[in-house]
Structure 1
Amino acid sequence: MEVELLTPDRWRTEKKRLIGFALRFGDKRLAIATIHALRKLDDSTLDSDASGVYTAVIAVAVHGSRIVGFGFAADGGEGGSLVVVHPDARGLGIGGKIVAAMIGRLGSITCNVAVDNTASMAICFKLGMKAVSMHRGPTGKPTLRFEKTADLGVPIKV
């Protein structure tokens, strides 16, 4: 299994397929606003600017030719973030590898995880993300806000 960070060209090719994957395997846990942000993503944000900074990332986990998971974050997660792993591939560390790749590309990330989503919270804690606040999410559930900044030169352990 390898994780690929998509270029604008690859995003244009895979956009419909990945959005369908998210809707099919997101277990109705994905915020509608995040799906809209993914649909409206300007593919140029997947390239770095003149100073080498990325404002968005899409990381796709592939096993053979099969997509087994993917993640998305825009504006460091402030503009939306999600991770979806195929049900047959859950529990194999794929979600953690996707998030680690996204942190590596963006340098830092924030995400919001409903407290009943223990699998996603486990990924965040395993990667050393810090829960910095709690609020009511879009569905009214208590939700933790997680943050992580990459330690330069130190690989993220998954």
Structure 2
Amino acid sequence: MEISAISPVNELEWLDIREQCNDFINRFGTRRHTQGELEQLQKMPFNELHQPGTSLIAATVRGEYGKAPVGVCFVSGFGQKSFLIAIHPLYRNRNLGHSLILSQKSTLGYLNCKVAVDNYSSLHICFDAGMHAIALERSSTGKPTLIMSTCPMESPASNSMQEGDLLCLNQF
């Protein structure tokens, strides 16, 4: 299995790749992505693909007719605009989602995403990839949603806490 960045060289190639990625996500995704995230990929012009915080990667295996995709991960805005991941059912439970997230993190530096608390498989992938829950909010549908991040959390040992200091500071 190989994980690599998808970097089209022109707009015509991007239109074809974008359609294939959309088809893959619609076919093998868990249908838990928001419409806005899906539209972000569907409508993304070629020039925005090369903006900071945007990356498209795929996991492929060698098949009878060449490389075949088994996983796709698309991130825009470092995950704040869109974070899409889809894995072929035959390749789930093999740490592929974890590997895709780690690859995105090494490419972009950090990631953020929102995951509904009842989406156990996505939470599992995020926690396995070293992401941390940094906040809890309600989605547009009213579901409790965790904001996940790869940014390292400060360890309590690194803080110079003094008696009387607040233990929890809400930044929102």
- TM-score range normalised by the length of the shorter chain: 0.7 to 0.9
Q: Secondary structure at the match of 2:150?
A: strand
1:25-44 aligned at under 5 Å gives the runs 25-44=28-47
| 1:139 to partner: Cα distance | 3.3
| 1:91 to partner: Cα distance | 0.3
Where structure 2 has 5 or more consecutive residues not aligned to the other structure, the ranges are 153-172
| 1:45 to partner: Cα distance | 3.5
| 1:120 to partner: Cα distance | 1.1
8 Å Cα contact 2:99/2:129 also seen in 1: no
CA deviation map 1:110-158 (0-9, x unaligned): 00111111111111111221101111223332111001138xxxxxxxx
| 1:43 to partner: Cα distance | 2.5
| Residue type of the alignment partner of 1:5 | A
Q: Secondary structure at the match of 2:125?
A: helix
Q: What is the rounded CA distance, in whole Å, between the counterparts of 1:124 and 1:147 in structure 2? A: 9
TM-score normalized by structure 2?
A: 0.78
Q: Relative CO higher for 1 or 2, CA cutoff 8 Å, sep ≥ 6? A: 1
Where structure 1 has 5 or more consecutive residues not aligned to the other structure, the ranges are 49-53, 151-158
TM-score normalized by structure 1?
A: 0.84
Q: What is the rounded CA distance, in whole Å, between the counterparts of 2:129 and 2:88 in structure 1? A: 20
Q: Tell me how many residue pairs correspond in the alignment.
A: 145
8 Å Cα contact 2:37/2:84 also seen in 1: yes
Q: What is the rounded CA distance, in whole Å, between the counterparts of 2:117 and 2:125 in structure 1? A: 13
1:1-158 aligned at under 5 Å gives the runs 1-9=1-9, 11-47=14-50, 54-64=52-62, 65-149=67-151
| Residue type of the alignment partner of 1:77 | G
Q: Secondary structure at the match of 1:45?
A: helix
Bigger CA radius of gyration? 2
Q: Which moved more, 1:79-88 or 1:5-14?
A: 5-14
